[in-house]
Structure 1
Amino acid sequence: MIACMATLAYFICYGGNWLFGQCMIERPIVVGTITGLFLGDLTTGIIIGGALEAIYMGAVNIGGATSAEPVSATVMSVTFAITAGLSMEEAITLAVPVGLIFNSLSMVWIMLTNIFQPAYQKVCDNGDGKGLTRVILTSWFTIYFTRAIIIFCCVYLGSEAVQAFMSQLPDSVIHGLAVAAGMLGAVGMAVLMKMLVSTENIGWLFVGFVLAKYLSLPAIVIAIIAVVIAITIGLTDKKIHDLKQMMTEGTPMALTEEEEFFNE
């Protein structure tokens, strides 16, 4: 029953995400919540999902380049934490290799999609819209159902094994796992900042750090200040852009009320 619930959570989150146009239900915070809900421990699912979101928030798949597969990692981490009694640190540390392994297996499912290529070609050549819909749904179900079967096997065969393995680990190893899990969030944030931070906005990063560290402002207050600053900068840039465009086109600039008064 547990393996079925974990498999269903994986299929809904991963398969449903791509069926409806990448609606982001495959993010760890959502996957963890749904898995925890299905397994009867919503709190654990949300906590582990939120922790894994901090790790995988910087993992973005661009084109054919993939870095990790967070859905399987989240499902198995939450499942083993609830059923095998793993601590949050142990479950989070388990998630990283699981995500990498499932990501390396993605080529298997990519090759599986080639099986449906003749069917796609046939319905497209015939202009069969309903047939195209059937082929799309069939290929979608086949690909993600086969993925879900692997999750089922891992959970069904691995729960007792993982529990027995973790019970044999010495305290020093458990402590090391806790330390590693604490560092993973910083790694995920660093990957995200590497993509976002540039020479133009690095100064604002230090401003936010000063507001949080030395003025002890809450995160929501800093976010509000950031939104106000971003809107102000955006409006200023728009005015500058419009001014440059008018100068380029030779369009006379509209005078303000003060300028019109003094011109009179």
Structure 2
Amino acid sequence: MIQWWQIILLTIYAGFQIMDELHWYSSAGSAVFSGFITGLIMGDLATGLLIGGSMQMAILGVGTFGGASRIDANSGTLIATAFAVSANMDWQVALSVIGVPVAAILVYTDIAGRMANTFWGHACDADIEKMNWNAYNFHYWMGAVSWCLSRMLPVFLALAFGQPLVEAITVALDGDLKWLGDGLTLAGGMLPAVGFAILLRYLPVKKHIAYLILGFVIAALLGTAFSSIVTVAGDVAILGGAVTLPEGTALVGGSYKGLSMLTIALIGFALAYIYYQQHQNAPVAAVSAGAEGDDEDEL
């Protein structure tokens, strides 16, 4: 069960995160930060970071351009993490069954917040014309209150009264509907890839393909290097006497891999392509410069 103090803290954070997203920009109004804070409050930081990170990846290519509303990934992460921890639910299932639907539904509360804020904005305009600064301050802060309530109210209602429903869903997905739960787990694992694909769709990938290849290769190499460092550290601990091996166990506990030919080829291709892009117009520029010099000599 979610404790009353956890509901209060999470409700307060729900209001804080939307204000941070709109005004303060400290990154506390992001899905991954929402998972971090909710995980701390619920006592399971790993689950919070897994759900928050996956939700963050899913919305990488989504933005609120103009006055458009988008899914509320922050509140979806908050509610999914809270229920995943309290109901002992698999985090990927919680992300698919709770996080994404809640984030989509809260689009309507976002619209309600925008409508209320428009009302208070017109009130502020009228106060400026009348030079009624006390009323202006009141209406200005009421706009902030309307934004906070657009998140705090649904989050509070979901956390306070949604626990029995979530527990019933968990039991069903672990029982007769296990096939559905397995499918939702797979869908939850695909969400980060979908978000990354959306992001690539809007980035100038064709123009900067070389840097994309280099980034991918470097990230893969860093993962391999980290694994090798862990292996080396374990072997050093054994040699130093900090760890005792059972009899008959080999000293080297892991494998050390060099760069594959594919990795070298990708790096070479990326560097060659960057060189080509930087120098493809150099001959044209040189010819133009020479022609200008000839013209000056003639004059």
- The TM-score normalised by the length of structure 1 is 0.75
8 Å Cα contact 2:57/2:195 also seen in 1: yes
For residues 129-208 of structure 1, the aligned pairs below 5 Å read 132-169=136-173, 170-208=177-215
Q: Counterpart in 2 of 1:257?
A: none
8 Å Cα contact 2:61/2:195 also seen in 1: yes
Q: Distance in 1 between matches of 2:108 and 2:209?
A: 35
Q: Counterpart in 1 of 2:40?
A: 37
8 Å Cα contact 2:205/2:212 also seen in 1: no
Q: Counterpart in 2 of 1:114?
A: 118
Q: Distance in 2 between matches of 1:111 and 1:121?
A: 16
Q: Aligned partner of 1:161: which letter?
A: L
Summarize deviations over 1:83-133 as a string: whole Å, max 9, x none: 121111111112111111111342222221233244302332244566544
Q: Distance in 2 between matches of 1:18 and 1:145?
A: 14
Residues 38 and 207 of structure 1: CA distance in aligned 2, closer, same or farther (over 3 Å):
closer
For residues 9-158 of structure 1, the aligned pairs below 5 Å read 9-20=13-24, 22-93=25-96, 94-127=98-131, 132-158=136-162
Higher relative contact order (CA 8 A, sep 6+): 1
8 Å Cα contact 1:5/1:35 also seen in 2: no
Q: Distance in 2 between matches of 1:7 and 1:91?
A: 19
Could you tell me how far 1:12 is from its partner in structure 2?
1.7
Q: Distance in 1 between matches of 2:15 and 2:214?
A: 43
Q: Aligned partner of 1:123: which letter?
A: D
Q: Distance in 1 between matches of 2:215 and 2:147?
A: 44
Q: Distance in 2 between matches of 1:165 and 1:38?
A: 23
Summarize deviations over 1:235-255 as a string: whole Å, max 9, x none: x79xx9xx9xxx9xx9xxxxx
8 Å Cα contact 1:9/1:75 also seen in 2: no
Q: Distance in 1 between matches of 2:7 and 2:203?
A: 39
Could you tell me how far 1:27 is from its partner in structure 2?
0.9
Q: Distance in 2 between matches of 1:140 and 1:67?
A: 19
8 Å Cα contact 1:84/1:160 also seen in 2: no
Q: Aligned partner of 2:72: which letter?
A: E
Residues 147 and 208 of structure 1: CA distance in aligned 2, closer, same or farther (over 3 Å):
closer
Contiguous gaps of at least 5 residues in structure 1: 251-264
Summarize deviations over 1:13-32 as a string: whole Å, max 9, x none: 12233242x44322111111
Q: Distance in 2 between matches of 1:139 and 1:161?
A: 33
8 Å Cα contact 1:85/1:163 also seen in 2: no
Contiguous gaps of at least 5 residues in structure 2: 226-262, 293-299
8 Å Cα contact 1:55/1:189 also seen in 2: yes
Deviates more, 1:112-121 or 1:128-137: 128-137
C-alpha RMSD over aligned residues: 3.5
Deviates more, 1:79-88 or 1:196-205: 196-205
Residues 56 and 212 of structure 1: CA distance in aligned 2, closer, same or farther (over 3 Å):
same
Q: Aligned partner of 1:205: which letter?
A: L
Percent identity among equivalent residues? 24
For residues 224-243 of structure 1, the aligned pairs below 5 Å read none
- The TM-score normalised by the length of structure 2 is 0.67
